[in-house]
Structure 1
Amino acid sequence: MKNVYKSILLNREANRKMLAVLLDPDKCRGSVLAGTIAALKSNTPDLVFVGGSHTVTSVDSLIELLKEEVNTKIVLFPGNASQFSTKANALLYLSLLSGRNAEFLIGQHITSSVAIKKTGIEVIPTGYLLIDGGKPSSVEYISNTRTIPRDKNEIALSTAVAAELLGMRLVYLEAGSGADTPVAPEMIHCVSAGLSLPLIVGGGIKTTEQLTAAYDAGADIVVVGNAFESNPNLIEEFVKCTRNYEAGSELSATE
């Protein structure tokens, strides 16, 4: 078992929540990049995800800089096979199970599988579910797939359990970058309660109250990106919130 997935499992077993900061190479440049690196150095999240639904900038240079400056694991979150990099610690091998577009269910995987395997990078098969976030998202447009309605908890659960039975190792509920509303706590709870896999939740999380609500509902990892693009200093607040949540959980467990 490789290091990134093992750490996710160990944290889940200990009931320690994780925060992942998502960086899009097309947006994280210039002063935004400088501010983000400074914030990450002083307040390091559990993971940094790199990628985007329509990233055209090479991810290699960003990952190299992150590995030099920030002491955390770098995980690829690719929009397509062209965003692969051997410089990352791990790759989320995403299959868009909520849609019916074969290209993102298996097509991109076929074009990249042999090359990826030869690199020896840690690959984490991930069932990727798009959830309605209140407005069309870039990934919805690019993948040409419909989202799961935000109030259809049983559809989300059935899709997540299908991912588990297919042998995937993570499930990711995604409301989309800059979503008006994040994945509802009721849906997170429904999926988490019926799933044996670690659960990632992302999209539309702009406040620490929403972050805490996702943790309370059962998310093991929460991904935040868009909120930090305009204000990288928010990273400190979100990292501290996650650490304080961990401390509170440990205290409750000992009482």
Structure 2
Amino acid sequence: MKGEVASGIQTIYKSGQKGLAWLIDPDDWDELLPEKLKEIQDLKVDFIFIGGSLIQQDNVTELIKMIRENVPHLPIVIFPGNALQFSPNADALLFLSLISGRNPDLLIGQHVAVAPLIEKSNIEVLPTGYLLIDGGKRTSVHYMSQTIPLPNHSPELTVATALAGYYLGLKYFYLDAGSGAAEPVNPKIIKAMKKRIAAPLLVGGGLNNIEKIRQAYLAGADIVVIGNGAEKSIKLLKEVSDFLESIRVLSN
């Protein structure tokens, strides 16, 4: 039903609970993915995100179908690198505006291209301010976006950028160090964002072990997005799920 993804995110945000999203890159999909999906059926995973900086195969719709067959209870959200990654078969779309950069194509250009397709679909649209943070090395998202990431030591600059997006009406915010980042988003930035921006906060990039993920949650991330870490070992999702369950037990 339309509105369920937004409602789920808002529930996580308002309740103070924590959410987990597994980001799957269509280019990295292999024959082992169905088995991996079956392994997470009983874990504390809230969303499946689909997307990547460079999609070399036209298989997003096929991937969505396969995910639904294996984990029909999990909402599928498109995390697009460009307008070509849109599929009306997903449950929701992160309508990303790269507010940390000055590339007009990723601020509004790609949005104009895909807007008529969205209008004809029944997909949920989640207006999201996307902030690229320097993760210590140049990643594919830096190259594809042709933008300079925000420094990882400047909470005030990141918050000021997010505030501008908030006042423009964006309802969700995504801090991303980029896929394969050497370092994740600085917990000080996450903490400052949580304190100053009254909106759900998603954090991803460079979160490849449980300690980094734990720090992101404790700093204030509402939803952590794991991509490469889960691709290398599904065990990481199990560790995060156990951590989230321990938080839930302690809070009751």
- TM-score class, shorter-chain normalisation, is over 0.9
Mapping of 1:62-81 within 5 angstroms?
62-70=63-71, 71-81=73-83
Q: Which amino acid in the other structure matches residue 6 of structure 2?
A: Y
Which deviates further from its counterpart, 146-155 or 56-65?
A: 56-65
Q: Which amino acid in the other structure matches residue 123 of structure 1?
A: V
Question: What is the rounded CA distance, in whole Å, between the counterparts of 1:42 and 1:8 in structure 2?
Answer: 19
Match of 1:45 in 2: 45
Which segments of 5 or more consecutive residues in structure 2 lack a partner in the other structure? Answer: none
Match of 1:5 in 2: 6
Displacement of 1:44: 5.0
Q: Give the SS at the match of 1:41.
A: coil
Displacement of 1:120: 2.0
The answer on 1:186 being equivalent to 2:164 is no
- Per-residue CA deviations over 1:1-43 (Å, capped at 9, x if unaligned) read 8111111111211111000010001112123x14422322242
Match of 2:172 in 1: 170
Runs of 4+ in 1 over 6 A off after TM superposition: none
Match of 1:14 in 2: 15
Q: Which amino acid in the other structure matches residue 170 of structure 1?
A: Y
Match of 1:54 in 2: 54
Displacement of 1:209: 1.5
Q: Give the SS at the match of 2:41.
A: helix
Q: Give the SS at the match of 1:243.
A: helix
Q: Give the SS at the match of 1:26.
A: helix
Q: How many residues align?
A: 249
Match of 2:229 in 1: 227
Cα gap change, 1:135 to 1:35, in 2 (>3 Å): farther
Question: What is the rounded CA distance, in whole Å, between the counterparts of 1:138 and 1:25 in structure 2?
Answer: 15
TM-score, normalization by structure 1: 0.94
Contact in 2 for aligned 1:76/1:92 (Cα 8 Å): yes
Match of 2:30 in 1: 29
Mapping of 1:92-111 within 5 angstroms?
92-111=94-113
Q: Give the SS at the match of 1:62.
A: helix
Q: Which amino acid in the other structure matches residue 103 of structure 1?
A: D
TM-score, normalization by structure 2: 0.95
RMSD: 1.3
Which deviates further from its counterpart, 36-45 or 110-119?
A: 36-45
